[in-house]
């Protein structure tokens, strides 16, 4: 990464911290510690399952919300505050600005996820009194959640490169919902014939597949995640993010900022 | 004391905030009283696991945990009230297990909630059976589910043959509990399937190095022999009566007429007793654990000392 991208990424991260984005960790900690203590009282024999399911679901949803609401403002905020012109008047290319913003936001989310992961493991230790070998797969689920953030950040940035913040949020959230139901969409495409079938198949492959990145239920039951799935999901997330960021760069390069 | 304008606004705002908060809570409490039971009824509107699965955006594990907790709370509340109305229990458990078919506690405890008669349970052994079968279908390697199924057949449905079958299936799994074959054999014994029971107890004896389990198997094999001997001897007595028109006066009568060869004895070597009206009894019932036949009228099968019966009861 060149130093200009690094600076922009670091500043994006610093700005997110200054905007008190990491305050969500307090809500997360309260949610998880409350669940860990309460679940034994109100349910039967599912303490570990609840900690893993609730913890990872919260990590994922908190992160997606942050990715969307920070991501959609990354470009528009700089234009509104006219700081973009200051940045671009320096030897910083437009693509470096977009890529730097992307890395800054994903960096924020990785740090956020790290602290949440610590919280999940502490809650696990609280309910189970010890770590087990199968708890290691929770790390894989967390890694997949980070991959999910890469895609959401890239999409938010893509939409914000040409649309208003509100519409960018709507588009990104809609794609998150559709992508979470990607397997249903594929199933629908398979049973549909003709032009509609072709269109459904094209859409099914174009929208991000978040369902493959969601292995929360499996790791909650201690299932192993195949190495090939880890590899393919990593490649898929990187390629999809690269695709969306490239689209954002292409649009931003042509955008009239006057 | 003079108060600034800002101070006055702060005071009024604080008072309105506290009043609104307290008033809101009181109103909500009144609404809850008015709509008592309607919160649980809402489960019926969302009982389609397919709809819930899509609404959950793939976070089905958490939703299943929530539904399971809701089922536990619902059962606990109805049970606490002494209500016989458990109509939402089966749908709640269905949704739970369809959202996460591998949530074992939902099957294990859920069947125990569903099967017993009210007020201890929902009195729905059929639903409990369906739940267990669904669980086994989706978790075929879990011996605990076969155990629960056998337990259900044994305690609620009194179907010993099917209980034995469930325990035997669970006993054949690669990862199982050493008492599964013991239970299977016991059920088969209750069902009168002596050969099955003998085979399972013999397998139990052979497949374990645990002295207590082996001793337990031996005791059951001895009981099985008594049960079978008594059954066979009573049939012979009946045949004697059909042929001669009278009850035999002693076991010796059966031998003299050629119905049996030699004097039959229990595993302790004590000859069986012929009682009035053709009943057969053992001489010392207290020395033969687990027997179900050959006992004096009204007597129950003696239980072995705890050290020879290592928690093998269902």
Report pLDDT for A70: 87
Helix (H, G, I), strand (E, B) or coil at A130: coil
pLDDT averaged per 10 residues in sequence order, chain B, 314 residues: 78 88 84 62 61 82 89 86 84 92 90 83 91 95 89 82 90 85 78 66 68 80 91 91 87 86 89 88 87 85 51 34
pLDDT band with cut points at 50, 70 and 90 for residue A138: very high
* Whether A217 and B100 lie within 8 Å, measured CB to CB: yes
Report pLDDT for B280: 92
The answer to whether residue A97 sits within a structural domain is: yes
Look up the pTM and report it.
0.70
Quickly list DSSP for A195-254: HHHHHHHHHHHHS---GGG--HHHHHTTPPPPHHHHHHHHHHHHHHHHHHHHHHHHHHHH
C-alpha distance from B72 to closest chain A C-alpha (Å): 6
Range of the domain at A161: 3-253
pLDDT band with cut points at 50, 70 and 90 for residue A102: very high
Q: What angle do CA A27, A28, A34 make, to 5 degrees?
A: 90
Report pLDDT for A1: 57
Percent of chain A that is helix, strand, coil (3-state, to 5): 85, 0, 15
The answer to whether residue A258 sits within a structural domain is: no
Total domains present in chain A? 1
Helix (H, G, I), strand (E, B) or coil at B274: strand
* Average pLDDT estimate for A74-93: 80
Q: Which one of B54, B62, B73 has the shortest CB-CB distance to A54?
A: B62
CB B107 within 8 A of CB B113: no
Quickly list DSSP for A71-108: HTHHHHHHHHTTHHHHHHHSS--HHHHHHHHHHHHHHH
**A170 CB burial (10 A radius; 0-12, 13-18, 19+):** middle
| A61 contacts on B by Cβ (under 8 Å) | 59
| B54 contacts on A by Cβ (under 8 Å) | 181, 184
Helix (H, G, I), strand (E, B) or coil at B281: strand
Which tokens in the block code for residue A249?
A: 């760069």
Helix (H, G, I), strand (E, B) or coil at B16: helix
CB A49 within 8 A of CB A147: no
């Amino acid at each position: 990464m060149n130093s200009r991208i690094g600076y922009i990424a670091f500043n994006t991260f610093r700005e997110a911290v200054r905007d008190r984005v990491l305050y969500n960790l307090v809500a997360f900690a309260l949610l998880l510690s409350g669940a860990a203590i309460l679940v034994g009282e109100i349910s039967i024999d599912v303490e570990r399952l609840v900690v893993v399911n609730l913890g990872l679901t919260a990590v994922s949803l908190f992160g997606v919300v942050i990715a969307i609401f920070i991501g959609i403002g990354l470009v528009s905020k700089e234009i509104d505050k006219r700081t973009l012109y200051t940045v671009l008047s320096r030897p910083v290319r437009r693509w470096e600005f977009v890529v730097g913003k992307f890395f800054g936001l994903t960096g924020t989310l990785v740090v956020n996820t790290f602290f949440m992961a610590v919280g999940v493991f502490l809650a696990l230790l609280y309910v189970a009194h010890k770590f087990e070998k199968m708890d290691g797969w929770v790390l894989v689920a967390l890694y997949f959640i980070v991959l999910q953030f890469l895609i959401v950040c890239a999409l938010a940035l893509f939409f914000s490169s040409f649309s208003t913040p509100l519409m960018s949020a709507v588009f990104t959230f809609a794609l998150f919902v559709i992508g979470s139901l990607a397997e249903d969409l594929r199933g629908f495409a398979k049973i549909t014939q003709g032009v509609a079938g072709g269109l459904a198949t094209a859409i099914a492959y174009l929208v991000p597949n978040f369902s493959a990145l969601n292995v929360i239920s499996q790791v909650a039951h201690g299932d192993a995640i195949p190495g090939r799935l880890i590899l393919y999901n990593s490649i898929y997330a990187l390629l999809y993010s690269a695709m969306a960021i490239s689209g954002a760069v292409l649009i931003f390069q042509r955008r009239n900022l006057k | 004391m003079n108060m600034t304008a800002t101070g006055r606004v702060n005071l009024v705002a604080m008072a309105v905030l506290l009043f609104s908060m307290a008033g809101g809570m009181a109103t909500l409490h009144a609404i809850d009283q008015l709509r008592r039971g309607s919160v649980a009824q809402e489960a019926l509107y969302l009982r389609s696991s397919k709809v819930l699965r899509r609404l959950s955006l793939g976070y089905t594990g958490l939703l299943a945990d929530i539904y399971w907790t809701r089922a536990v709370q619902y059962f606990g509340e109805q049970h606490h009230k002494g209500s016989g109305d458990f109509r939402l229990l089966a749908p709640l458990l269905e949704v739970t297990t369809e959202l996460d078919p591998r949530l074992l506690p939902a099957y294990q405890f859920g069947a125990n909630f569903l099967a017993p008669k009210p007020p201890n349970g929902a009195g729905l052994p059929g639903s409990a059976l369906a739940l267990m079968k669904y669980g086994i279908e989706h978790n075929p390697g879990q011996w605990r589910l076969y155990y629960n199924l056998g337990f259900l057949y044994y305690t609620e449905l009194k179907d010993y043959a099917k209980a034995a079958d469930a325990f035997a299936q669970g006993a054949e799994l690669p990862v199982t509990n050493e008492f599964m074959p013991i239970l299977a054999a016991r059920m088969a014994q209750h069902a009168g399937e002596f050969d099955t029971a003998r085979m399972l107890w013999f397998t139990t004896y052979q497949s374990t190095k645990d002295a207590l389990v082996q001793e337990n198997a031996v005791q059951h094999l001895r009981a099985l022999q008594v049960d079978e001997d008594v059954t066979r001897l009573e049939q012979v007595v009946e045949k004697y009566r059909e042929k001669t028109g009278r009850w035999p006066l002693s076991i010796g009568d059966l031998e003299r007429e050629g119905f049996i060869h030699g004097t039959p004895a229990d595993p302790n070597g004590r000859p069986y007793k012929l009682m009035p009206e053709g009943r057969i009894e053992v001489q010392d019932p207290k020395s033969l654990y687990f027997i179900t036949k050959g006992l004096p009228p009204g007597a129950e099968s003696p239980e072995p000392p705890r050290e020879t019966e290592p928690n093998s009861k269902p």
